């Protein structure tokens, strides 16, 4: 079961998308330097299908929903994405994971974006060229889906 603490419309988590970021609680990663330590706790509201529908209804104009966390229950993360794909096909689905690799329980065909990698303070976040984190865009085709690294979209080009 996934629980979330809050949600907000953001413009920087997924490039070129108006994203409803849903902050998932009970994070097992406990990254040193984490800016959201309150999400380590098992608190918040259960993220049911009805709750997802309500959040989407309250935030018209979004182009993407991104689960920020959920590493304590990958099956539920995958189920949320699968539900979004069937019930809200016009809205893209993203997921931010603190794991270094995409877990086996995740079917990338249910997602449009997946971020992997724990936060390592000395490496910086996605906006730093030294980051260990990777944001993938899932490219869907008739036969298979593939992961395209789009992390560089976060890096500001100096002098241009």
Give pLDDT tens digits for 12-37. 999 999 999 999 999 999 988 888 88
pLDDT of residue 157: 64
Burial (CB count within 10 angstroms: exposed 0-12, middle 13-18, buried 19+), residue 35? exposed
pLDDT of residue 34: 86
Could you tell me which residues are beta bridge partners of residue 151?
A: none
Give the pTM: 0.94
Contact between 77 and 95 (Cβ < 8 Å):
yes
Using 50, 70 and 90 to split pLDDT, how confident is the model at 72?
very high
Phi/psi of residue 79, nearest 5 degrees:
-65, -40
% of the chain at pLDDT higher than 70: 98
- pLDDT above 60: residue 158: no
Burial (CB count within 10 angstroms: exposed 0-12, middle 13-18, buried 19+), residue 45? middle
What are the contacts of 40-46 at 24+ separation with CB within 8 A?
42/3, 43/3, 43/5, 44/3, 44/4, 44/5, 44/6, 45/3, 45/4, 46/1, 46/2, 46/3
Mean of the per-residue pLDDT values of the chain: 94
Neighbours of 125 (CB within 10 A): 16
Q: What is the DSSP string of 77-113?
A: HHHHHHHHHHH-TTSEEEEE-SSSS--TT--GGG-SE
| Residue range 77-84: mean pLDDT, rounded | 97
């Amino acid at each position: 079961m996934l629980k979330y603490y809050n949600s907000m419309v953001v413009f920087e988590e997924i490039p070129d998308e108006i994203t409803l970021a849903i902050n998932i609680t009970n994070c097992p990663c406990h990254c040193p330097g984490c800016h959201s330590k309150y999400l380590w706790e098992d608190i918040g509201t259960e993220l049911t299908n009805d709750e997802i529908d309500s959040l989407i209804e309250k935030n018209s104009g979004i182009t993407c929903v991104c689960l920020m966390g959920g590493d304590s229950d990958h099956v539920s993360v995958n189920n949320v994405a699968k539900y979004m794909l069937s019930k809200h096909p016009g809205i893209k689905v993203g997921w931010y994971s603190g794991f270094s690799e995409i877990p086996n329980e995740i079917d990338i065909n249910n997602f449009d974006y997946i971020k992997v990698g724990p936060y390592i303070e000395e490496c910086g976040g996605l906006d730093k060229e030294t980051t260990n984190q990777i944001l993938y865009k899932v490219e869907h085709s008739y036969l298979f889906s593939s992961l395209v690294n789009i992390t560089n979209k976060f890096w500001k080009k100096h002098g241009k």
